[in-house]
Amino acid sequence: MPRPRDADAAGTTRNAPAPARAQGARGARRAPSTGRAAAARARIGISGWRYAPWRGEFYPAGLPQKRELEYAAERFSSIELNGSFYSLQRPESYARWYADVPDDFVFAVKGSRYITHMLRLGDVATALANFFASGLFELREKLGPLLWQLPPTFAFDAERLERFFGMLPRDAAAASKLARRHDARVEGRARLDADPGSRFRHAIEVRHRSFVQPAFVKLLRRHDIALVVADTAGKWPLMEDVTAGFVYVRLHGDKKIYESGYSDEVLDGWARRIRAWKAGGQAEDARTVSDAPPRRKARDVYVYFDNDVKVHAPFDAISLAAKLME
């Protein structure tokens, strides 16, 4: 089961200044595409933003809680939205989050634990429909990858994964069609129409040793689903196999999960890997279980720090983002 996400300790003040970055009118729609392919980006952020120990240390003392997302979004280009893991959120919440962040900001959204941990990917058609109908479409063009995290007791099951992957929508039409299959749990509060042109990209995080095999990587590549590169201080598997058109990284702590911060030397190593992924390849010393993927011109990279217990996450994210600008 997941750990509590909001402790009640506070630390010393070391508020983070906002780095220079393009800002637009909050809540405005992104300009129409020119038809050119967007350049690949490395987005460095945090997993969640509402933590009591961060108040007075990352967040300035006295900052209203309702402004914490706005403050964080001025410092990061992406945040992993994890409240959706614990319960179905509401359309008005997604709409408020959309309005609170800059135009070029992107949310990663964590899929429901009801689907991954309780149903364990079996008989999930209605649960998936409820998740997509719950308000997700209110994020519009600010919706980034969807994260599906499997529990540590979930072993590799190719047939079950194959069925689940086949149900995941990839475009607006498929997502809207799926959302219309919702049940009474979201009746009267559903949002059923995804923005035309929306695309839905999926990543999966695994925590059982049985997944460390080429057959799993091959399955992900066939469905274009990203294998989450998860640093968990050795507690769960760490695989760097590139399996999709983008790379998704979660940094939970390299010495003590959820607690330890990352040294400057270790962050240099992650920066080197991110540059290789962004350029369409992978690091020469990548920890993989399969053959290298076909090289691409470029890949988007999403990195989220989840070592939040000791308030390391936001400061590690700022440090890593600065290294990538060097």
pLDDT digits (tens, 9 = 90+) for 112-125: 999 999 999 999 99
- Mean pLDDT of all residues in the chain? 91
Alpha-helical regions (H) of 100-230 = 113, 125-133, 158-167, 172-179, 214-223
Task: Say if 305 falls within a structural domain.
Answer: yes
pLDDT of residue 99: 98
Task: Say if 151 falls within a structural domain.
Answer: yes
The end-to-end CA distance of the chain, in Å, is 39
pLDDT of residue 7: 35
Compute the distance between CA of residue 326 and CA of residue 42 in angstroms, rounded to an integer: 14
Compute the distance between CA of residue 297 and CA of residue 280 in angstroms, rounded to an integer: 5
Residue 221: band (very low, low, confident or very high) from pLDDT cuts 50, 70, 90: very high
Nearest Cα neighbor of 168 from 197, 123, 132, 213 is: 132
Q: Which helix (H) or strand (E) holds 278?
A: helix 264-278
Identify the domain containing residue 186 by its residue range: 42-324
Nearest Cα neighbor of 250 from 50, 275, 89, 262 is: 262
Is residue 22 pLDDT above 50, yes or no?
no
pLDDT of residue 251: 98
Task: Say if 66 falls within a structural domain.
Answer: yes
Task: Say if 127 falls within a structural domain.
Answer: yes
Q: What is the CATH number of the domain that holds 55?
A: 3.20.20.410
pLDDT of residue 295: 83
Task: Say if 23 falls within a structural domain.
Answer: no
Q: Which residue did the predictor score with more confidence, 23 or 205?
A: 205
Question: How big is the chain by its Cα radius of gyration, in Å?
Answer: 19
| pLDDT tens string 3-16 | 444 333 333 345 66
Task: Say if 30 falls within a structural domain.
Answer: no
Number of domains in the chain: 1
Average pLDDT for 68-81: 98
Is residue 127 pLDDT above 80, yes or no?
yes
Average pLDDT for 281-287: 95
**One-letter amino acid for residue 5 of the chain:** R
Is residue 293 pLDDT above 70, yes or no?
yes
Task: Say if 314 falls within a structural domain.
Answer: yes
Is residue 69 pLDDT above 90, yes or no?
yes
Task: Say if 296 falls within a structural domain.
Answer: yes
Compute the distance between CA of residue 216 and CA of residue 220 in angstroms, rounded to an integer: 6
Whole-prediction pTM: 0.90
Structure-derived torsion over alpha carbons of residues 88, 194, 73, 31, reported in degrees to the nearest 10: -170
pLDDT of residue 202: 98
